[in-house]
A and B are shown apart, each in its own frame.
Chain A
């Protein structure tokens, strides 16, 4: 690891060999495999099919917040490593109306996110998409999935969790399946009321998200993000222009965002217009737009960050502690 480039702070991984030998990582990985098993069982029982996602493509999720995609030279063409496989999820719906991946993603996050404890350049998400679903359906699946995974892991490996410092009471609210809901606008008002300078037409910033998460005892959804804060594929509410039919699921006690999801745009002309609104060049998306023109089913879906889920389960401070091969933003690591 290139120590010269590390940001200062107490929460940086040791050299990789040492990290891989640590008992804490071992415990976290045992928790992770229980979580993945529980997620797969739960989703398959609910009729979902697991696919393996693509790794590179001519385009990927354009993302936001300054995260960028890595370029790959693909037989002389500029391809991207997947920042998320959202476009492929939508394109798969006609063959697989309920599908999920456990997808590896690579996002070159801005360096200032290295110390949030919530960002890794390489990470995985449990990526779910449901044809014909509305936002509320996707939220129900996300909540059900989280509740089931937490329940299973606590029941299957309680010793591991207590060894890592977790107590039963920490997870009671999640296991009970009680989730709150607020809107983006309400979240902004709460932050402004608390003296946090949150822009009303932007994504909730990292510090704001942490504040909201800290003051809550149970997981909660934030609905209705403003257009411009998310990708072109999140559906705009036809009754409320400028408002997206999307959501985040925030874990309590400061752990922050676990899930991002939305109803999707499936109308071809709307997708092209929304691409322009986010400054994208539609010509890059030729394959996807061809599918959209021929008809992509309406859908809703979400991605649940796997490392964030495991961090929440284990109660550890940073995502690198629950990744075997952590790569922090801006830190050159093997």
Chain B
């Protein structure tokens, strides 16, 4: 356990899951028979997505189908959680989100998280700016890069045929040609040959929609990065720490379409993923990406984290995930969502609204911080159990069968709520 904290995120609950796994899905068994239970306060302050209640029906024709299939009453353990995520087979509708190149996201914790994601058989996304900041192996084995350490940890642990590794490249990464390096590196050949390598075009992130990556660097590192990034003095003259800023890159419909085509043309054996910030035109952006052949479109809601961001962006910028999902409507391809995910209910809501899988970012880091050996595995096992319980309660037995009918919105039907006019505050949809 380190000094890693996540204010505003249910950190104690996540740490508890990292220690006790599925035990945390239930109230303390010591209180069984001695305490009366009602709804807790855990979700009272959640965002618009968390306010949707999961609404099982009384009549369950799909349960009957399963009953006929099994010749016995179906149980939560009969729920199929496997899914196709961005061209990969995944054992669960979850993936490990990119952590970016911040210190919290690129040290040993990230390697531990990679190993556990591999063991779990869920896809893993490796963040942008890893190579310009941390380097790639050059001229022999003497220096191992953070990126290759994570690839090795994942590959060493992953069972055959499931999961996959996704590597982002940003505008600055293009200078270092990250995708080219990886694609032609003999070390990644096993991934390519088993169809488990994808490249993700990172267009934005939930923590700071419209801005590029930001990290805090000090002294020599700041000087070393100054020729590739803007390094700004924002912490005061006496402070030797600097803000390192990457550019977000310029996109239009045509630029997006062509970049995706270019990726598919240049790296035909890798899958093509795109990650968007929660932009107001997210519906159009997702449609363009799918039409151009993206194997997965990731939407990072304004609840997204792990990255360093200005306070005003964390608090006031970007659409909440639920509004993004509403604007996308029925997905025209594989949709992935991230932002504020740490337990099964939110994952289920995202899946019911069309997502194929949900990403764990901050929650994964906190979990491995709590227990580097198995924290993420226990957290994921707790989410998997909740999903089995929830999906079976809805009378369904595959995560892919979830639908909008499985949710109830206290503020009126999800699809019919008025669309926001451009420029109007996002909070309007959540209120």
Contact = CB atoms under 8 A, between A and B. Distances in A.
A278 B183 contact: no
Contact of A201 (B171, B172, B261): B261
Interface string A192-213: 0000000101110000000000
B264 interface: yes
Interface in B202-219: none
B250 A276 contact: yes
Contacts of B255: 273, 276-277
B265 A64 contact: yes
B259 A277 contact: yes
A290 interface: no
Interface of A: 64-66, 68, 108, 110-111, 199, 201-203, 226-229, 273, 276-281, 284
B258 interface: yes
Nearest to A273: B255
B264 A202 contact: yes
A277 B267 contact: no
A110 B184 CA distance: 6
A175 to B, nearest CB: 35
Contact of B174 (A65, A202, A229, A279): A279
Contacts of A64: 262, 265-266
Contacts of A68: 177, 180-181, 184
B262 A278 contact: yes
Nearest to B170: A281
A228 B184 contact: no
Nearest to A108: B184
Contacts of A202: 261, 264-265, 268
Contact of B171 (A108, A110, A227, A281): A281
A203 B265 contact: yes
A97 B175 CA distance: 32
Contacts of A65: 265-266
Given A228-B265, A279-B174, A284-B175, A66 B259 contact: no
14 contacts: A66-B180, A66-B183, A66-B184, A66-B267, A68-B180, A201-B265, A202-B261, A202-B264, A202-B268, A226-B261, A229-B261, A279-B201, A279-B263, A284-B175
B141 interface: no
B265 A229 contact: yes
A178 B255 CA distance: 39
Contacts of B201: 279
B254 interface: yes
A277 B254 contact: yes
Contacts of B266: 64-66
A228 B175 contact: no
Contacts of A108: 184
A284 B181 CA distance: 18
A276 B262 CA distance: 11
Nearest to B254: A277
Nearest to A203: B265
A231 to B, nearest CB: 10
Nearest to A272: B250
Contacts of B169: 279
Chain B contact residues: over half helix, strand or loop, or mixed?
helix
Chain A contact residues: over half helix, strand or loop, or mixed?
loop
Contact of A281 (B172, B258, B263, B267): B172
B133 to A, nearest CB: 15
B179 to A, nearest CB: 9
Contact of B262 (A110, A279, A281, A284): A279
A60 to B, nearest CB: 12
The listed residue with most B CB atoms (<10 A of its CB), out of A108, A229, A279, is: A279
Nearest to B181: A68
A155 B176 CA distance: 49
A72 B174 CA distance: 17
Contacts of B177: 68
Interface string B230-265: 000000000000000000011100110011011111
Interface string B325-354: 000000000000000000000000000000
A202 B265 CA distance: 6
Contacts of A281: 171-172, 174-175
A134 B265 CA distance: 26
Contacts of B251: 276
B159 to A, nearest CB: 27
B180 A278 contact: no
B132 to A, nearest CB: 11
Given A202-B264, A279-B259, A281-B171, 16 more contacts: A64-B262, A66-B184, A108-B184, A201-B261, A202-B261, A203-B265, A227-B258, A227-B261, A228-B262, A228-B265, A273-B255, A276-B249, A276-B255, A277-B254, A280-B174, A281-B175
A273 B256 CA distance: 11
A57 to B, nearest CB: 14
Interface string B407-431: 0000000000000000000000000
A111 B184 contact: yes
A273 B251 CA distance: 10
A229 B266 CA distance: 8
Contacts of B264: 199, 202
Contacts of A277: 254-255, 258-259, 262
A143 to B, nearest CB: 27
B259 to A, nearest CB: 5
